[in-house]
Amino acid sequence: MQSTLLTETRGISNGKIPVQVPFFRPHVGDEEINEVVSTLRSGWLTTGPKVNAFEREFASAVNARHAVALNSCTAALHLAVEAIGLREGEAVLIPTMTFAATAEIILYKKAVPVLVDCDPVTGNMDLADAERKIEALKRRCLPYLRGRDLNVVGMIPVHVGGHMMNLDELKAFARANNLWIIEDGAHAFPAAWRANSADRWHFCGDDTALVTCFSFYANKTITTGEGGMAVTSSKAIADKIRLMSLHGLSHDAWGRFSGTGNWDYQIVQPGYKYNLTDIAAAIGCHQLTRAEEMRKQREAVAEFYLSSLNDVSEIALPVNDDDRINSWHLFPIRLKLHSLEINRNEFIEKLKNSGVGCSVHWRPLHMHPLYQERLGWNENHFPTASQLWKEIISLPIFSSMTFEEMVHVVETVKQICAAYQKNTVSRAA
């Protein structure tokens, strides 16, 4: 099937056995497998000593004071807004270029996500547009207000693909507008920013926000299958998140059932069931040990792509920056559609036909029915994200990528660009 598809793709078959490159392959070794087995044999499966260790080690990895492990980044974000007391009817700035989770947790609280357009190069939140959206709120000319006053209380930026936003600008903006910052750091472990070469590195989670939330979903930079972490320098916030992660009980299970704990507990809040299991944390501890090594491997993939695709004029490559440690969770390319005969979806189809898995990050939130129908957003509110959406493709990037796989991705992208470039001498000849 694959080979028929290959020959149907104009100018792209080279007669060799097709290489299949998945979009992502998790990097799980014997250490993780053995640790999971030993956890299963230990008799303690749910939140316990492995989670405690994972929290401690993660906090020290990002230089955070407190870390609470949860069963997803979505749970971490939800409990973060819960812990800081986001109230019904308040508004929160979030990028339209993000995953569902960043916005839905605001809706859980019956608060209002105010979407913000993105930077055309990084895809990160555009603070100039955030300013415009705040002004529009004051003038009551955003679609869903219906004459209401909305108080903007906070913002949840995302470091898209692990390319950090400029934290000085972000914090200055938040201060000027009296907003709290909760970071959606789902892509940003490990990732860092510095103002210049004389500054120290600020790792995402190192006091970069009131709460920073990370994801250990199967295809994130480190994984526990499903999992997340909330880090903060506030003990009060960490305690609240921990309390709400387990039914609002005043003790967790390990505290209750281990030799040192008490069997008794008190329900003090209607909480949730968001705790991480020791089985998952067993994977996490070993992923954590290899996190920087895996990041370096992804960086090597990124550098190979950047140098090999540098002269392909039909695409734009992601930016690399001396003042950022990029986690390289994603490698998004942008098609220059005016120089191609095919659109983004067709380009993806050609990649797929040649065995290259890819993805798109993301269909912006304002292009989903929920945000169009309930909140009245449309494409004109976000010209940059609406355009970017038509041009972006995330290429495979993961730490266990082989050289053959990298070469296949590069060759395939080059061949598709050559076969479908517009108005060129080579096509005319």
Which residues are catalytic, by number? 220
Query: Which one of the spans 25-33, 70-78, 125-133, 309-317 is the region binding ligand PLP (CB under 6 A)?
Result: 70-78
Site for ligand PLP contains 183 (CB under 6 A): no
Of the two residues 106 and 410, which places its CB atom closer to ligand PLP in the complex? 106
Site for ligand PLP contains 74 (CB under 6 A): yes
Site for ligand PLP contains 398 (CB under 6 A): no
- Residue of 39, 47, 72, 399 that binds ligand PLP (CB under 6 A): 72
Query: Which one of the spans 28-36, 99-107, 130-138, 349-357 is the region binding ligand PLP (CB under 6 A)?
Result: 99-107
- Residue of 215, 223, 224, 327 that binds ligand PLP (CB under 6 A): 215
CB of 107 to ligand PLP, least distance (A): 14
CB atoms within 10 A of CB 323: 14
Site for ligand PLP contains 392 (CB under 6 A): no
- Residue of 96, 98, 124, 224 that binds ligand PLP (CB under 6 A): 98
Site for ligand PLP contains 355 (CB under 6 A): no
- Binding-site size, ligand PLP (CB under 6 A): 14
Site for ligand PLP contains 84 (CB under 6 A): no
Site for ligand PLP contains 184 (CB under 6 A): yes
- For residues 193 and 197, give the distance between their C-alpha atoms in angstroms, rounded to a whole number: 10
Contacts to ligand PLP by CB under 6 A = 72-74, 98-99, 101-102, 158, 184, 186-187, 215, 217, 228
